[in-house]
Amino acid sequence: MDGAIGNERPPQSHTTVDTFTVVPRDDVVRVATEVLARSSVEPTVAEDIFTVDVAGMAWDIGAITYEPSDPSNIAVGADGKRVGIFLLHGGAGDYKTMDSRARLLASKFGYRVVSGTFPGRFYFDDPSRDWPGDTINDDGTVRTPIWKRGEHITPDQYDVVTDESMRQRYGRRTVARAKPGTVFIDRLAASPLAMEMACRVAMERHFPPDEYSIYVHGHSTGGPLQFMMSQRVPNIEGVLAIENSAFGYINQAKHRWAGSPERTDRFDELYIRTWRDIARYAGAEALGRDGGDALNRLPWLMEDVLDSWNDERNRPQFKAEYLVTWNIVSALDEAARHTASRLGLEATATEELVARYLGMTHEL
């Protein structure tokens, strides 16, 4: 490959946060400019839809692959194996929110890239894969995941609840609380297992261990999930960490250090995102940029927020991953026990399943 960036196996690091090298902004801009100036090869892009069987249920999974049109041109790393990149999006999105990163990695570096989508987030019902309408409908019903083609979570399976417990940061939160005895509650309880299996199978399908070394990245919410996977797929060689959070217990400690309240999300709730989730970032960014003067143009800020929401509401915009990403032990325990009960597991197997759930948030 052309350009100044080569493939070298880096030395083992024993640095701490106090010994990291500070890279001046000008150097970052220079390197970014060099990368963008590299010659590009338009990648071949394809959908891969497959089914995994987890916890007694079938889960349909959608992923997108990006690679050089001639597979023989896939880049080879320092270890002599081809380079595979596995990407996960953040809490609001699906594979489309990672499309620009995936295309850059495939077109500028010649990597094979797989961009995954969380179970339930891939919109199977339209070839565009864009979610229709808004997350909260005029009749008060809400958008819900599609975990299996042809299976839809109907309004009789949940209650819509308004949560004001975190209003200072989120405003009024809307959640769909699953009713007992429904497919919805069973899917929510087993979704951490489905996430683990979906990622594992996606990598097995596209990155054979004898051919590929895998490097993973998860944006925001996807970060703790990728850290989890880094210890569950043997040919994952590293975490790219372009911008992501670490294991759930570290993410929990980080927010505790910052003064954020402990999250108490239930396993049987699906958070429904709205324009408020854009506003909570826009407000902090405006304050940091403009100080108190930002309030003098509040109508303008709100117009920008609502315009952004109109552009982004065709992404999934619902979330059920807080259990893993924030290390909510009580909810993980309850989700595991619900699944164990549904499967009719005996006591020892139940405790093993609970341990498996709790193990998703930290090193093995």
How far apart CA 172 and CA 161 sit, in angstroms, is: 10
Residue 101 scores a pLDDT above 90? yes
Mean pLDDT over each residue of the chain, to the nearest integer: 94
Q: Is 78 found in the same domain as 213?
A: yes
Q: What is the mean pLDDT of residues 43-61?
A: 99
Of 44, 109, 107, 82, the closest CA to residue 207 belongs to: 82
Q: Is 173 found in the same domain as 208?
A: no
Return the number of other C-beta atoms located less than 10 Å from residue 172's C-beta.
Answer: 11
User: Is 11 within the bounds of a domain?
Assistant: no
Q: Is 38 found in the same domain as 112?
A: yes
pLDDT band at residue 18 under the 50/70/90 scheme: low
Q: Is 115 found in the same domain as 66?
A: yes
State pLDDT tens for residues 104-114: 999 999 999 99
Domain encompassing residue 46: 25-123+191-249
Residue 13 scores a pLDDT above 80? no
What local confidence, expressed as pLDDT, does residue 184 receive? 99
Q: Is 96 found in the same domain as 45?
A: yes
Q: Is 344 found in the same domain as 324?
A: yes
What local confidence, expressed as pLDDT, does residue 329 receive? 98
User: Is 6 within the bounds of a domain?
Assistant: no
User: Is 139 within the bounds of a domain?
Assistant: no
Q: Is 105 found in the same domain as 235?
A: yes
Tokens read off for 151: 């299976």
Rg over alpha carbons for the chain, rounded to the nearest Å, is 21
Tokens read off for 129: 């894969």
User: Is 1 within the bounds of a domain?
Assistant: no
Q: What is the mean pLDDT of residues 158-163?
A: 98
Are residues 121 and 129 in contact, defined by beta-carbon separation less than 8 angstroms?
no
pLDDT band at residue 3 under the 50/70/90 scheme: very low
pTM: 0.92
Residue 16 scores a pLDDT above 70? no
Q: Is 353 found in the same domain as 279?
A: yes
Q: What is the mean pLDDT of residues 116-140?
A: 98
Write out the H or E segment, with its range, that includes residue 304. helix 298-312
User: Is 12 within the bounds of a domain?
Assistant: no
User: Is 16 within the bounds of a domain?
Assistant: no
Is residue 333 classed as helix, strand or coil in its secondary structure?
helix
Q: Is 169 found in the same domain as 119?
A: no
Q: What are 69's strand-pairing partners?
A: none
Q: How many domains does the chain have?
A: 2
User: Is 66 within the bounds of a domain?
Assistant: yes
Residue 8 scores a pLDDT above 80? no
**Burial of residue 131 (number of CB atoms within 10 Å: 0-12, 13-18, 19+):** buried
Burial string for 192-229 (b: 16+ CB within 10 Å, else e) reads bbbbbbbbebbbeebbeeeebbbbbbbbbbbbbbbbbb
Residue 169 scores a pLDDT above 60? yes
User: Is 175 within the bounds of a domain?
Assistant: yes
Q: Is 325 found in the same domain as 234?
A: no
What local confidence, expressed as pLDDT, does residue 285 receive? 95
Q: Is 293 found in the same domain as 238?
A: no
Question: Where do the DSSP E strands lie in 291-337?
Answer: 318-319
Of 345, 56, 53, 91, the closest CA to residue 186 belongs to: 56
Q: Is 302 found in the same domain as 201?
A: no
State pLDDT tens for residues 20-32: 788 999 999 999 9
Residue 83 scores a pLDDT above 70? yes
